[in-house]
Structure 1
Amino acid sequence: MTSLNTAPDLTGRNLSKRRAFANRSATVLIGLCVLIAALPLVLVAWQVITRGGSALSLGFLTEEIPRNYRTEGPGMGPAILGTLAITGMAALIAIPIGVLGAVYLNEYGQNKPLARFIRTMADVMTGVPSIVMGLFIYVAYVIVIGEKVGFGGSLALACLMLPIVIRSAEEMLRLVPEELRQASAGLGARKWRTTMSVVLPSASSGITSGALLAVARAAGETAPIIVTVGLTYIYKPDLFYGENTTLAAQIYRNATQPFAASQERAWGAALTLIVIVFLFTIVSRIIASRFAIDKR
């Protein structure tokens, strides 16, 4: 009897070994999948940095775009200004409307018929190709005013950004604990006050991330810009008069040319666009962290 009681538990040890082996195998497999997924991103970043870095200079960032694609030398200043102005105007249109729409869906509408209709339309708009949005703005705005202008591109990009902002902001608002709303209501705050001073600050980091995804998509769109904005080689700060251009449009136009000079400008413009999006991401993260409520 004593020998039976003191015998080692081989079954438990084997089970523990199998679990440890399965855990290590899953960890290795997940790490391998991460490397495979990151490999294309690393290769693209390497190509853009190595080939676009040689084109970057002060003149490239400030001078006007050469009219002849064969011409060597810098010049993407008008495209940089156009990208910032057109995308910025689109963000000013889409982000406030999208956040307010998400507030209605999550805090007021919830499962009402209008709220369900808005969610459905937002999901549909998310899958609409960008060229369709561009053609819609071209018919509804450009043809009406009779010329291609930068503001038409802002409207097209705003239409592309809006459903992304709505759905991402709504998901972030759902993650705010209900206890915070109840605590605010218990202190006598009205619903709009609770939403503005408690709910939105708590979800500000996630809302900012969703807005940045929308801005990043808008900054890289080419088809709606070509359809609604046109093309220019000089500085055009006025979005309501005359044709304009963006970095994405110049990347497309220069990359499709068989000349080494234009392709070098395309790589430089691609690197510039990535740097701009990256800088705005950092700035927005800092701003969101300063206004977010400390949940500790």
Structure 2
Amino acid sequence: MTQDTTPAPAPRTNTLAGKSLPRWSPIGFAAVSIALAVGLGTVAGWQSKMQWGLLAALFFVVLTYTAASAVEGKRQAKDRVATSVMWVCFILAVVPLASLLWTTVGRGIKVLDGYFLTHSMAGVPGFEAGGGVYHALIGTVEQVGLATLFAAPIGLLTAVYLVEYGRGTLAKAVTFFVDVMTGIPSIVAGLFLLSIMLMFKLQPSGFMGALALAILMVPVVVRSTEEMLKLVPNELREASLALGVPKWRTILKVVLPTAIGGITTGVMLAIARIAGETAPIMLLVFGTQLINSNPFDGAQSSLPFYIWEQYRVGSDASYDRAWAAALVLIAFVMILNLVARGIARWKAPKTGR
């Protein structure tokens, strides 16, 4: 009887249970990278903190890859490097935004109070302290409101046509012109309406500025609404049509209610996009120091125009008013975005378990 001399198979190693870096390692790598960047920047005599930040980001990626390769292997190291690069890009994008917001709040809070929000610049010399932003705030609310009143229905109906009915040459032409309008500079929209004003001898008004803002707003509403309508499952449309419901009623009662949250968000984002436009207002509204609550008669002001106007004066008081108006404009846009998110969550279809 011969003895079996075949070697036993080696035990299979569990690669998922290998060594791994501790959870706090990214924080440690970040601290070491910042220390190295600051030390090297100080020795080299670099004064720019941007250089220190970029050098720290480079050190962070290199340290992460080196340590992960030594402990976890090259495959896991590549994954960690990709994650580290994503974090670095995120921080590089957030830092300028946070710096801008910090500067605006720090400089705008000096004169931002109830008096500033409830008074205009009537009778106040631009180089002296005092005055407020009330007239510009009214102008912005009215002009943006009129632009939304014009652009939202047109954009919504256009998107419904493209998604539900659009076929053939006309749909392609509409899509092409929407794409072209998306890239139109605001000054071009202002010049277009300015030529109409000169042809028909019309006077500057908030209404003309609202028309220019509506031109800029329509393609944004069309694109966002179109994408939201495409996300509605076709099964819902087919089920409604199978019950004998007409197509127009299916769109009105099934498709639009399902996508209303995303449509509202798109409209709010379009409003936020036009709220800071200055060029059309300069050409079509002209601006004024007085309170004009009638957008159809006479010049009006707006927050972007007010900021430019106060910055142009060049005094310390005007600079403070410009920063305060910028803070009001940022708050206005942020409130719109929060409202949009709230409506989107409120109107979102409820999912069952």
Partner residue, 1:128: 184
Aligned length: 295
Matched, 1:91 2:148: yes
Matched, 1:119 2:175: yes
Query: Offset of 1:285 from its aligned partner?
Result: 2.8
1:256/1:102 CA distance change after superposition, 3 Å: same
Range with bigger deviation, 19-28 or 98-107: 19-28
Matched, 1:6 2:5: no
Partner residue, 1:25: 81
Matched, 1:75 2:144: no
Partner residue, 2:214: 158
Partner residue, 1:36: 92
Partner residue, 1:210: 266
Partner residue, 2:237: 181
Query: Offset of 1:205 from its aligned partner?
Result: 2.2
Show CA shifts across 1:220-244 (max 9, x none). Answer: 0000001001111111111110100
Kindly indicate whether the alpha-carbon contact (under 8 Å) linking 1:142 and 1:149 is maintained by their aligned counterparts in 2: no
Query: Offset of 1:283 from its aligned partner?
Result: 2.2
Hey, what's the Cα distance between the residues in 2 that align with 1:285 and 1:36? Answer: 25
Query: Offset of 1:112 from its aligned partner?
Result: 1.8
Hey, what's the Cα distance between the residues in 1 that align with 2:216 and 2:145? Answer: 14
Q: Which runs of 4+ in 1 moved over 6 A?
A: 10-16
Hey, what's the Cα distance between the residues in 2 that align with 1:160 and 1:78? Answer: 24
Query: Offset of 1:284 from its aligned partner?
Result: 3.0
Kindly indicate whether the alpha-carbon contact (under 8 Å) linking 1:102 and 1:166 is maintained by their aligned counterparts in 2: yes
Query: Offset of 1:289 from its aligned partner?
Result: 3.0
Identity value in percent: 42
1:203/1:17 CA distance change after superposition, 3 Å: farther
Query: Offset of 1:126 from its aligned partner?
Result: 1.1
Range with bigger deviation, 204-213 or 1-10: 1-10
Partner residue, 2:305: 249
Hey, what's the Cα distance between the residues in 2 that align with 1:158 and 1:130? Answer: 11
Instruction: Name the SS for the 1:279 alignment partner.
Output: helix
Aligned partner of 2:308: which letter? Y
Hey, what's the Cα distance between the residues in 1 that align with 2:269 and 2:93? Answer: 19
Kindly indicate whether the alpha-carbon contact (under 8 Å) linking 2:272 and 2:337 is maintained by their aligned counterparts in 1: no
1:295/1:186 CA distance change after superposition, 3 Å: farther
Structure 2: any 5+ residue segments left out of the alignment? Answer: 20-68
Query: Offset of 1:142 from its aligned partner?
Result: 5.8
Query: Offset of 1:9 from its aligned partner?
Result: 4.9
| TM-score, structure 2 normalization | 0.78
Hey, what's the Cα distance between the residues in 2 that align with 1:286 and 1:194? Answer: 26
Kindly indicate whether the alpha-carbon contact (under 8 Å) linking 1:142 and 1:148 is maintained by their aligned counterparts in 2: no
Partner residue, 1:229: 285
Instruction: Name the SS for the 2:313 alignment partner.
Output: coil
| Structure with more contact order per residue of length (Cα contacts < 8 Å, sep ≥ 6) | 1
Hey, what's the Cα distance between the residues in 2 that align with 1:142 and 1:83? Answer: 24
Range with bigger deviation, 2-11 or 125-134: 2-11
Kindly indicate whether the alpha-carbon contact (under 8 Å) linking 1:142 and 1:228 is maintained by their aligned counterparts in 2: no
Hey, what's the Cα distance between the residues in 2 that align with 1:201 and 1:129? Answer: 33
Query: Offset of 1:255 from its aligned partner?
Result: 1.5
Hey, what's the Cα distance between the residues in 1 that align with 2:242 and 2:225? Answer: 25
Hey, what's the Cα distance between the residues in 2 that align with 1:287 and 1:143? Answer: 42
Hey, what's the Cα distance between the residues in 1 that align with 2:272 and 2:139? Answer: 15
Range with bigger deviation, 139-148 or 4-13: 4-13
1:135/1:10 CA distance change after superposition, 3 Å: same
Partner residue, 1:282: 338
Kindly indicate whether the alpha-carbon contact (under 8 Å) linking 2:152 and 2:267 is maintained by their aligned counterparts in 1: yes
| TM-score, structure 1 normalization | 0.93
Hey, what's the Cα distance between the residues in 2 that align with 1:243 and 1:74? Answer: 19
Kindly indicate whether the alpha-carbon contact (under 8 Å) linking 1:142 and 1:152 is maintained by their aligned counterparts in 2: no
Query: Offset of 1:165 from its aligned partner?
Result: 0.7
Kindly indicate whether the alpha-carbon contact (under 8 Å) linking 1:230 and 1:243 is maintained by their aligned counterparts in 2: yes
Kindly indicate whether the alpha-carbon contact (under 8 Å) linking 2:108 and 2:320 is maintained by their aligned counterparts in 1: yes
Range with bigger deviation, 43-52 or 58-67: 58-67
Show CA shifts across 1:67-86 (max 9, x none). Answer: 52102123100000100000
Kindly indicate whether the alpha-carbon contact (under 8 Å) linking 2:286 and 2:300 is maintained by their aligned counterparts in 1: yes
